[in-house]
Amino acid sequence: MDRIRIVGGNELKGAIPISGAKNAALPLMIASLMTDDTLTLENVPHLADVEQLIRILGNHGVDYSVNGRRERQDAGYSRTIHFTARNIVDTVAPYELVSKMRASFWVIGPLLARMSEAKVSLPGGCAIGTRPVDLFIDGLRALGAQIEIESGYVVAKAPKGLVGNRYAFPKVSVGATHVLMMAAALAKGETVLENAAREPEIVNLADCLNAMGARISGAGSSTITIDGVTALSGARHRIIPDRIETGTYAMAVAMTGGDVLLEGARVDLLEKALDIVAQTGAEVTQTNEGIRIARNGAGISPVDVTTEPFPGFPTDLQAQFMGLMTMSNGRSKITETIFENRFMHVQELARLGARISLAGQSAIVDGVPRLKGAPVMATDLRASVSLVIAALAADGETTVNRVYHLDRGFERLEEKLSRCGATIERISG
């Protein structure tokens, strides 16, 4: 099993190209199930989750081909991929595939809309809470689907097709918004989704569906209106830059000090998180090429944060921010409101000398002047990168084990950081 070895203490200086967003790429790839024409996606990141979803879509009959040409030399692996679901050959998404990744459950929307049936295993994904699927089931039922749970599978049927309706989410859910938007795009008549998620990935998906011929308005606000159409065509669409990768490297620079340009990053995708990084004492500047983050000399100021749905501070940056706060010059309080079990990084950060105590939904972090390298274990995707952030500033050597979590969501992490002066390497085997 691969490990990452880091020797801390170097400032980060240079440029980091920001990859296409994992959490936009996954629903966009799934949208390829909705047409028998080709959907071409540009800026697809090279990540374990993307490869896994390619396998899952292949099982339903989606062919794909990758453009050989590199899009940007620096971004290396980000690619243009053509997806074609000429025929859906199987409407079952089996446990062996779906259990590895939460987003693969989302095929339920397109399969049901196009084929009038789907049988999808209950999902897996990062172990950060119970992560039920009740909102998907309620929402699809509101569109006329008949749904049963049988032996760990959600079995959905809509023999007469889906029919538009008004559905108010009792709780904001990114995944359920993606799925209902896709299902409603091919339903009869109008659907109005209230209390919908407003994340930029929702807007990216709605833009793509509209380019395919859907009629969706209001994405990015909490009310989305969808006028169903009978069929969708192919399209060419670009994946937005990864706002979580952007925030992660911004926090890494705030932690180590230095000066880094996050190439291709967009401020509008993560305003709140960048405000918070600025409050810790880093300089954050939008430039024509991306976002520049610098911190010279001054210490790290403690800042309290509470995770919230977009446009609030994202839960997917909570662990990284805690990594940064471990060396602040005071006490900060970090409150997690989205997932009930997303503090698995606390005990691993403690191995590096962090002082953190948990009180219900909050973590109280007392900054320390120095961290010291140690062997640590990645427990989930964002938790593992919080350990990398802490290790970059710790004295001596840290090894991060179970790197497969990192590979789900960070493209060429060790290469991007070492090009900015970090001492970091992957040890295979």
Ligand X SMILES: CC(=O)N[C@H]1[C@@H](OP(=O)(O)OP(=O)(O)OC[C@H]2O[C@@H](n3ccc(=O)[nH]c3=O)[C@H](O)[C@@H]2O)O[C@H](CO)[C@@H](O)[C@@H]1O
Ligand Y SMILES: C=C(OP(=O)(O)O)C(=O)O
CB closer to ligand X, 57 vs 338: 338
Quote the CA–CA distance of 302 and 387 in Å, as a whole number: 18
Q: Which of 34, 75, 81, 126 is catalytic?
A: 126
Which regions of 239-394 does DSSP assign to beta strands (E)?
258-263, 283-286, 290-295, 305-306, 331-335, 355-359, 362-366, 375-377
Q: Binding marks (x or -) toward ligand X, 336..355, rule CB under 6 A? A: --xx----------------
* Shortest distance in whole angstroms from residue 393 CB to ligand X: 25
Name residue 218's amino acid. G
Give residues 164-183 in contact with ligand X (rule: CB under 6 A): 171, 173-176
Q: Annotated binding residue at 277? A: no
Listing DSSP states for 233-255 in one string gives --EEEEPPB-HHHHHHHHHHHHH
Determine the residue type at 227: D
The closest residue (CB) to ligand X is 175
38 vs 52, which CB is nearer to ligand Y? 52
Q: Between the CA of residue 234 and those of 20, 78, 107, 210, 326, what are the distances in Å?
A: 20, 21, 18, 11, 48
**Strands 290-295 and 92-93, how do they pair?**
unpaired
Q: Which amino acid does the sequence have at 268?
A: D
338 assigned binding-site residue: yes
Compute how many other C-beta atoms are within 10 angstroms of the C-beta atom of residue 419: 16
The nearest distance, CB 195 to ligand X, in angstroms, is: 12
Binding span for ligand X by CB under 6 A among 60-68, 90-98, 125-133, 262-270: 125-133
Type of residue numbered 260: V
Among 60, 79, 100, 102, binds ligand X (CB under 6 A): 102
- 208 is annotated as an active-site residue: no
- Cβ–Cβ < 8 Å for 388, 7: no
Q: Of 105, 93, 80, which is closest to residue 26 (Cα–Cα)?
A: 105
What residues numbered 15-44 form the site for ligand Y, per CB under 6 A? 23
Residue span binding ligand X (CB under 6 A) among the ranges 51-59, 61-69, 134-142, 292-300: 134-142
Whether 135 contacts 174, CB under 8 Å: no
Would you say 84 and 37 are in contact if contact means Cβ atoms under 8 Å apart? yes
Residue closest to ligand Y, measured at CB: 125
Q: Taking CB under 6 A as the rule, does residue 378 contact ligand Y?
A: no
Contact status: 387 vs ligand Y (CB under 6 A): no
Binding-site residues from annotation for UDP-N-acetyl-alpha-D-glucosamine: 102, 131-135, 171-174, 316, 338
What residues are annotated to the active site? 126
What does the binding site for ligand X look like in residue numbers (CB under 6 A)?
23, 26, 102-103, 129, 131-136, 171, 173-176, 315-316, 338-339
